[in-house]
Amino acid sequence: MTRPRLHELDWPFFGTMLVLLISGLLVVYSACQGEDSETTNDLWIRQGIFAVLGLLAFVTCAAIPQAAWERLSPALYLVALGGLVAVLVVGSAAGGATRWLTIGGLRFQPAEFAKLATCLFLARMLAARRRPAQNIFSLLGPVFLVLIPMALVVRQPDLGTALVFLVMVPPMLYWSGVSLRYLLLASSPILSVVCASSTPSWIVFSIVLLALAYFSRTLLLERILFVTLSVVAGIVTPLLWGRLETYQQQRIIAFLDPESYSSGAGYQIIQSKVAIGSGGITGMGFLEGTQKGLAFLPARHTDFVFSVVGEELGFIGTMVVLGLFTFLVVRGLLIGASSRDPFAGLTAVGILSMLAFQVFVNIGVTVGLVPVTGLPLPIYSYGGTSLVATMGGLGIVLGVGLRRRD
pLDDT of residue 4: 55
Cis status of the peptide bond prior to 4, with omega within 30 of 0? no
pLDDT of residue 307: 87
Phi, psi (rounded to 5 degrees) for 14: -65, -45
Q: DSSP label at 133?
A: -
pLDDT of residue 36: 54
Non-local CB neighbours of 211 within 8 Å, separated by 6+ positions? none
Residue 35 lies in a domain: yes
31: Cα separation from own chain's centroid = 22
Strands (E), 90-177: 92-94, 97-103, 106-108
Non-local CB neighbours of 238 within 8 Å, separated by 6+ positions? 196
Please count the structural domains in the chain: 1
Residue 229 lies in a domain: no
Instruction: Look at residues 95, 33, 67, 28 and name the one whose alpha carbon lies nearest to residue 290.
Output: 33
Q: What is the spatial distance between Cα 386 and Cα 395, in angstroms, rounded to a whole number?
A: 14
Residue 101 lies in a domain: yes
Q: What is the spatial distance between Cα 99 and Cα 111, in angstroms, rounded to a whole number?
A: 8
For 142, the domain range is 6-173+245-402
pLDDT of residue 70: 94
Residue 214 lies in a domain: no
pLDDT of residue 83: 92
Residue 224 lies in a domain: no
For 63, counting Cβ atoms within 10 Å of its Cβ (0-12 exposed, 13-18 middle, 19+ buried), the class is middle
Residue 22 lies in a domain: yes
pLDDT of residue 172: 93
pLDDT block averages, 10 residues each, the chain of length 406: 66 95 91 64 84 95 93 95 90 71 82 95 90 73 91 85 90 88 81 75 82 78 82 77 64 55 62 81 79 61 85 92 96 93 94 95 85 84 91 95 81
pLDDT of residue 356: 95
Q: What is the pTM of this model?
A: 0.87
Please answer whether residues 99 and 111 qualify as being in contact, where contact means their C-beta atoms are separated by less than 8 angstroms.
yes
Residue 311 lies in a domain: yes
Non-local CB neighbours of 122 within 8 Å, separated by 6+ positions? 142, 145, 146, 168, 169, 172, 346, 350
Name the CA radius of gyration of the chain, rounded: 22
